[in-house]
Structure 1
Amino acid sequence: MPEHSSPTTPGAGAITDVAGIEVGHYSDPRRPTGCTVILAREGAVAGVDVRGAAPGTRETDLLAPGNLVQQVHAVMLAGGSAWGLAAADGAMRWLEERGVGLDVRFGTLPIVPAAVLFDLPVGDARIRPDADAGYAACAAASRAAPAEGNVGAGSGALVGKLFGIDRAMKGGIGTASVTVNGVTVGALIACNALGDVIDPNTAQVVAGARTEDGSALLDIRRALLRGDLPKPLLAGTNTTLGVVATDAVLSKVQANRLAAVAHDGLARAINPVHTMSDGDTLFALATGRVPLEGDAPGMTVLGTMAAEAVALATVRAVRAARSVRLGDSYFPAAADLS
């Protein structure tokens, strides 16, 4: 069985640097799949922005600014395609047992939006995250910096599938944070992209599609522009998911705007991104610990911070990943080709 976790990369922070945020992973020991929960037990104002054309989501409509619910209590990210949405049921059960949720008179209702990625080609596709997996992820949640790489929702993630899955590489989970004038923005990304992952600081491909002999990186952007033809794709078999969190006080309108601008980080770190075969979805959470007044950054700076944290977390997701070999299938990691 392949390794399911790796140590957090030092130096760039984590989403749990945001006050009020906890993260827990569940990695299935039977095959590379799992789920990751981002908890905000005291509630967080939330927004969402879906850019990919093949999303798998739950409870995203309620995050629209004009809709009733003002806060959520967790966000669930999971493998397993649409089946993996069941992991959110486990998070609801775990939170309800602890009295966390919205008082609806007849019970305490936890609000848990969710999104899934497609990791079914890696191992036995009949094994998917379920409610018990989501419950276990919540039970494992803490304020500690979460593990990165082959863990949680990133356990079975792959990147660079545009020229065939046999030329893909291992994706995973990454996290990062940025602090400016007392306000922190953190991101957690589960990278399962169709395209390559790019280091924005060098413009070099870090992980993605490999050459036909598998020994080197192809560079999808240049391959497409010179006329190389991609392989036929099954819609929805990719997707990068993530959560951006801040300790700033935000309205629902501002949280939705932060989620939208955070996609700039995906655009800097993935190429191509937001394709017809990706369901790229970013949530934004605001725990409301720091007012945006005085020297605190405004929305323009917060958006810049969010995009930066997302780009950093995306690159860390593939750099922390480890190779996976299952039968005749081999998916190397960035470290194997560097």
Structure 2
Amino acid sequence: MTRNLITDVGGVLVGHARDDRIGSGVTALIFETPAVASIAVHGGAPGLRDTALLEPEMTVERIDALALSGGSVYGLDSMGGIVAFLREAGRGFAVGDIRVPIVPGAVLFDLLNGGDKDFGGDKAFGREPVYWRLGYEAARAAAKDFRLGSEGAGSGATTFNLKGGLGSASDTSSNGFRIGALVAVNSLGRATIGDGPHFWAAPYEKSGEFGGLGLPSASPTSWPAGALDCKVKGDDLENTTIAIVATDADMTKAEAKRLAIMAHDGMAHAIRPAHAAIDGDTVFAAATGASRRTPTIRDRTEIGMLAADCLARAIARAVFEASALPFAGALPSWRGKFGTG
């Protein structure tokens, strides 16, 4: 049985937490055993924690978890909550008698979506960082099944014209390696074509997972007027799409780095534009080794291609499954605007 989620990759669990008052949340991806991982940052304005150690030449080979969070700089606190949960569970890099959980992460900007962002005035939690609490709760909730749309890191996410969200998808290579993607879509670009309901990711869709509408017509030259119009929204371009791709193949950090680079093609396939100067577009790549098989260079090439496809599909699923925020002036959801699917 497959779920069409990143948790179809052996050794991966995912949990969410959200705060509807602030219109934001956190997603934690927990590895059941430490995994090899790397990163590729193609956006010009990333918000990251503990990501330098993911470069191939750095000492630490494996990590315990990855975090995706809303909240911009405030969301960086979420990794601390995940670290606390993992330390309580006895996880982490051994340094003498101390365990040090390794939890890199990335944040997106959702501070202008209408929620109550007065974190310092939180009467219930005082000065406790709200995202630390959300990180802990997300890690505690980690499981094989999880919800898509306005959940976790996608809770407050938006796109150019529609509510963004949290998406996932999975696939299997021709030699049986599992691949999956997890993404929080918060883009200045569009995931849909023009003002219509069709997704840029339509060529990669499987089994009607985001509505089965296909493209507007067989040829872009006959698409409706304005279909290719992707004017950006004003000068306030605080946006980021952050993602994780994973495989059950056994890889080195250098090979995981190449996987992250290849997976970025999925953003370009599904969002227009992507990788802009004010985006923080980031992809983590992880190899759990759960298949207990080492891929050939041909396998690694196919895994990278399918990771990009999974990411494109996950982006469309994030928008397709999202619900509008309950704040004045909030962007509509895909279902709310098009009434289909």
Which of the five TM-score ranges fits, normalised by the shorter chain?
0.7 to 0.9
The match for 1:86 among 73, 77, 80 is: 77
C-alpha separation between the residues in 2 aligned to 1:299 and 1:153?
29
Aligned to 1:150: 150
- 1:336 aligned counterpart, secondary structure: helix
C-alpha separation between the residues in 2 aligned to 1:217 and 1:159?
21
Aligned to 2:334: 334
Q: How does 1:40-51 map to 2 (within 5 A)?
A: 40-51=31-42
The match for 1:124 among 116, 124, 128 is: 116
User: Could you tell me how far 1:218 is from its partner in structure 2?
Assistant: 6.3
Greater alpha carbon shift after TM alignment, 97-106 vs 287-296 = 287-296
Aligned to 2:185: 191
Are 1:170 and 1:318, in contact at CA under 8 Å, matched by a contact in 2? yes
C-alpha separation between the residues in 1 aligned to 2:135 and 2:74?
12
The match for 1:114 among 97, 105, 108 is: 105
Bigger proportion of residues as strand: 1
C-alpha separation between the residues in 2 aligned to 1:131 and 1:174?
23
- 2:106 aligned counterpart, secondary structure: strand
Q: How does 1:296-335 map to 2 (within 5 A)?
A: 298-327=299-328, 329-335=329-335
C-alpha separation between the residues in 1 aligned to 2:271 and 2:170?
19
> Which one-letter code corresponds to 1:192 in the other structure?
N
Q: How does 1:163-174 map to 2 (within 5 A)?
A: 168-174=161-167
> Which one-letter code corresponds to 1:222 in the other structure?
D
Aligned to 2:254: 253
Are 1:183 and 1:297, in contact at CA under 8 Å, matched by a contact in 2? no
Aligned to 2:60: 69
Q: How many residue pairs end up in the alignment?
A: 303
- 2:10 aligned counterpart, secondary structure: coil
Are 2:91 and 2:99, in contact at CA under 8 Å, matched by a contact in 1? yes
C-alpha separation between the residues in 2 aligned to 1:294 and 1:111?
26
TM-score by structure 1 length?
A: 0.84
C-alpha separation between the residues in 1 aligned to 2:45 and 2:54?
19
Alignment RMSD (CA, Å): 2.3
Are 2:250 and 2:295, in contact at CA under 8 Å, matched by a contact in 1? no
C-alpha separation between the residues in 1 aligned to 2:39 and 2:130?
22
Are 1:182 and 1:296, in contact at CA under 8 Å, matched by a contact in 2? no
User: Could you tell me how far 1:29 is from its partner in structure 2?
Assistant: 3.1
C-alpha separation between the residues in 1 aligned to 2:56 and 2:74?
28
Aligned to 2:229: 222
Alignment of 1:104 onto 2:98? no
Residues 81 and 332 of structure 1, relative CA distance in 2, 3 Å threshold: same
TM-score by structure 2 length?
A: 0.84
- 1:326 aligned counterpart, secondary structure: coil
C-alpha separation between the residues in 1 aligned to 2:189 and 2:289?
35
Aligned to 2:170: 177
> What is the CA deviation profile of residues 67-112 of structure 1, one whole-angstrom value per residue up to 9, with x for unaligned ones?
0000010001100001100000011110011111100114000000
> What is the CA deviation profile of residues 151-182 of structure 1, one whole-angstrom value per residue up to 9, with x for unaligned ones?
1000000001xxxxxxx320000000001232
User: Could you tell me how far 1:137 is from its partner in structure 2?
Assistant: 0.5
- 1:149 aligned counterpart, secondary structure: coil
Are 1:78 and 1:129, in contact at CA under 8 Å, matched by a contact in 2? no
> What is the CA deviation profile of residues 118-164 of structure 1, one whole-angstrom value per residue up to 9, with x for unaligned ones?
011121223474211111101111122x200011000000001xxxx
Are 1:325 and 1:331, in contact at CA under 8 Å, matched by a contact in 2? no
Alignment of 1:19 onto 2:10? yes
> Which one-letter code corresponds to 1:284 in the other structure?
A
C-alpha separation between the residues in 1 aligned to 2:257 and 2:233?
34
Identity %: 40
User: Could you tell me how far 1:297 is from its partner in structure 2?
Assistant: 5.9
Residues 204 and 173 of structure 1, relative CA distance in 2, 3 Å threshold: farther
> Which one-letter code corresponds to 1:333 in the other structure?
S
> What is the CA deviation profile of residues 183-240 of structure 1, one whole-angstrom value per residue up to 9, with x for unaligned ones?
10001010000100123424559xxxxxxxxxx9965x4254xxxx751125xx1000
List gaps (5 residues or longer) in structure 1: 1-9, 161-167, 206-215
